[in-house]
Amino acid sequence: MLVFVWASPDVVHADKNAGVSPSNTRLAVLPFQAISPEDGQVATVRCPVCGSVNSSGTVVKGAERVVQDLFTDKLRDLKNTELIPSERASGVYQRISSDSMKQTPKQLIHKVGMELRADVVVVGYVYHYRERVGYDYAVERPASVAFEIHLISVKDGTSLWRGIFEKTQKSLMEDVFQVSSFFRGGAKWLTARELAKLGIDDIFRSFPGVSSERE
């Protein structure tokens, strides 16, 4: 078993269009989805919204809801933003998606957003979510998480912000360069949920309107 712990990032990226702020808007979080390759031999998948290519892997059952809930919790702190109840957003999405099988993801997002009378919607995709095998200070296999989240304008379908996170925790002997991740992770082997939360915290720093409210 490995006994030294370190959280080493593979991909942490977020960007946004200049001047965009969700303040004084109605925001809906649509159900996050687990994305797996149609061909089991392929190790990559494409984002349904922007077409970006991402590495894929095991996604444990319920992982998409875990990532969705973590992100929604961050949205609750935004000022001057009305967050549409998740139950309503999920219900409308499920109904419209079942009746619109031939629509593209962007068309579906637009239709759901219009019915919810939302200004912007959040969509998320989980590409990899593997739980650790072991304990806080000794593991046989570390946790690994990868996801992508978009903030979409209902009016014109543009992506106003995108956050990407991909990380597999590594031991101190494997990577000695990520000191901040080591201490932020509590100097232990993280669960997949704990790793996902670190990722949400990282990418959310660039979410529109966040820096001006928290600095």
Six token digits for residue 172: 């101190």
Q: Environment class of residue 75 by beta-carbon count within 10 Å: exposed (0-12), middle (13-18) or buried (19+)?
A: middle
Range of the domain at 151: 9-210
The CATH number of residue 126's host domain is 3.40.50.10610
**pLDDT higher than threshold 90 for residue 68:** yes
pLDDT digits 0-9 by tens, 132-172: 776 566 657 788 999 999 999 999 999 999 999 999 876 54
175 within a domain of the structure (yes/no):
yes
1 within a domain of the structure (yes/no):
no
2 within a domain of the structure (yes/no):
no
Better-scored residue on pLDDT, 209 or 106: 106
160 within a domain of the structure (yes/no):
yes
Q: Any idea which of 2-16, 54-68, 115-129 has the lowest mean pLDDT? A: 2-16
Interaxial angle between packed helices 63-75 and 192-204, expressed in degrees from 0 to 180 and rounded to the nearest 10: 40
4 within a domain of the structure (yes/no):
no
**pLDDT higher than threshold 70 for residue 2:** no
CA 31 to chain centre: 11
196 within a domain of the structure (yes/no):
yes
Q: Any idea which of 19-28, 53-62, 143-152 has the lowest mean pLDDT? A: 19-28
Quote the DSSP letter at residue 187. Answer: S
CB atoms within 10 A of CB 76: 8
Number of structural domains found in the chain: 1
pLDDT mean over 179-187: 52
pLDDT mean over 60-74: 96
154, 114 in Cβ contact below 8 A? yes
3 within a domain of the structure (yes/no):
no
Measure the CA–CA gap between 75 and 3, rounded to whole angstroms: 36
92 within a domain of the structure (yes/no):
yes
137, 3 in Cβ contact below 8 A? yes
